[in-house]
Amino acid sequence: MLQNIRIVLVNTTHPGNIGAVARAMKNMGLGELCLVEPKIFPDEDAFARASGATDLLDKAQVVSSLDEALADCHLVVGTSARSRNIPWPLLNPRELAGVATGLGENQKMAIVFGREDRGLTNEELQRCHYHVHIPTDESFSSLNIGAAVQVICYELRMAVLQQDVADDKPQWGTEWDVDQADMQELERMFEHLEQTMIDIEFLDPENPRQLMPRLRRLFLRALPDKIEVNVLRGILTATQKRLKKSDTDV
Ligand code: SAH
């Protein structure tokens, strides 16, 4: 299970923190680090703080967008030090580890960590199936990013070590007849849905309110498979076609 988990850091400011994250990951048996537009990387501070985990830095993927980091993932979890305006399915690190034990062999999970100064944006958090919050003292909730990665990776490792937790797998698409859609397929569906709703004048792009976040939350909760996504997109295409036809009929 630990091999199926990718740690994603978004816009990290301090290279030393990237090194601390690599070390925390390697201590717990995780190996895949992906950096979305790090401010400074590679850098000697990162390598110094990684201690013996420099191999993770050497093979870290550096990408220019969060979408790129998530494209081949099936489950995405965003970490946050505080609650945001629209509530989202929320787990603590132990519950997250329980979910992770249900990952199928070919399913990839990304855990996304935010900027040191302001965390993840709402838009980034809305790309996630779940949010994870480390239950801190409410008056002081923000951990250093390296410490946050450490806590989460520790719980993932404990879940692997505890066979009884692994035996009680949550239902998570492992025995489905059709493969689960990946994030790239879901993002394309969301774009198609948004465009169709604009076409039929259900969504006003000048005043979108929380329509897309609410629909994203709905579809992400459903964990749709590839056929389900194709069917939904087929309905959208038919809607757009019919609309064009009725426009030309008038
Ligand atoms: N001031 C920022 C905190 C950023 S801390 C904010 O209010 O969001 C940097 C990153 O560490 C966060 O984006 C998150 O990924 C992680 N982190 C820090 N504290 C956390 C907590 N209590 N639970 C989960 N993740 C946390």
How crowded is residue 161: how many other Cβ atoms within 10 Å of its Cβ? 10
Answer yes or no: are the C-beta atoms of 183 and 72 closer than 8 Å: yes
Q: Is residue 178 part of a domain?
A: no
CATH of the domain at 150: 3.40.1280.10
Domain boundary among 138, 167, 196: 167
Query: Does residue 80 have its Cβ closer than 6 Å to ligand 1?
Result: yes
Q: Write out the residue range of the structural domain in which residue 34 sits.
A: 2-167
pLDDT score, position 12 = 98
Of the pLDDT bands very low, low, confident and very high (cuts 50, 70, 90), residue 177 is confident
Answer yes or no: are the C-beta atoms of 183 and 73 closer than 8 Å: yes
Mean pLDDT of 102-130: 95
Query: Does residue 57 have its Cβ closer than 6 Å to ligand 1?
Result: no
Residue type, position 133, single letter? H
| pLDDT 10s digits, 122-168 | 999 999 999 999 999 999 999 999 999 999 999 999 999 985 555 55
Of the pLDDT bands very low, low, confident and very high (cuts 50, 70, 90), residue 84 is confident
Residues 160, 187: one domain?
A: no
| pLDDT 10s digits, 12-44 | 999 999 999 999 999 999 999 999 999 999 999
**What's the chain's average pLDDT?**
94
Query: Does residue 78 have its Cβ closer than 6 Å to ligand 1?
Result: no
Mean pLDDT of 78-92: 91
pLDDT score, position 127 = 97
pLDDT score, position 176 = 76
Q: Alpha carbon of 46 to those of 6, 39, 41, 59, 130: distances in Å?
A: 19, 12, 8, 13, 29
Ligand 1 centroid–CA 132 distance in Å is: 10
Answer yes or no: are the C-beta atoms of 103 and 164 closer than 8 Å: no
Q: Which mutation among 66, 79, 150 tests ligand 1's pocket best, with the greatest number of atoms within 8 A of CB? A: 79
Ligand 1 centroid–CA 81 distance in Å is: 4
Sign of CA dihedral 232, 112, 2, 39: positive
pLDDT score, position 175 = 65
Question: How many angstroms separate the most distant Cα atoms in the chain?
Answer: 70
CATH of the domain at 215: 1.10.8.590
- DSSP readout, 63-121? ES-HHHHHTT-SEEEEE-SS--SS---EE-HHHHHHHHTT--TT--EEEEE-BTTTB--
Q: Say if residue 250's pLDDT is above 80.
A: no
Q: Say if residue 169's pLDDT is above 70.
A: no
Number of domains in the chain: 2
Q: Is residue 143 part of a domain?
A: yes
Answer yes or no: are the C-beta atoms of 131 and 80 closer than 8 Å: yes
Ligand 1 centroid–CA 80 distance in Å is: 5
Query: Does residue 134 have its Cβ closer than 6 Å to ligand 1?
Result: yes
| pLDDT 10s digits, 181-235 | 999 999 999 999 999 999 999 999 999 999 999 999 999 999 999 999 999 999 9
Ligand 1 centroid–CA 134 distance in Å is: 9
Q: For residue 114, which atom of ligand 1 is closest to its CA?
A: 13
Coil, strand or helix at 228: helix
Q: For residue 78, which atom of ligand 1 is closest to its CA?
A: 15
Domain boundary among 132, 167, 202: 167
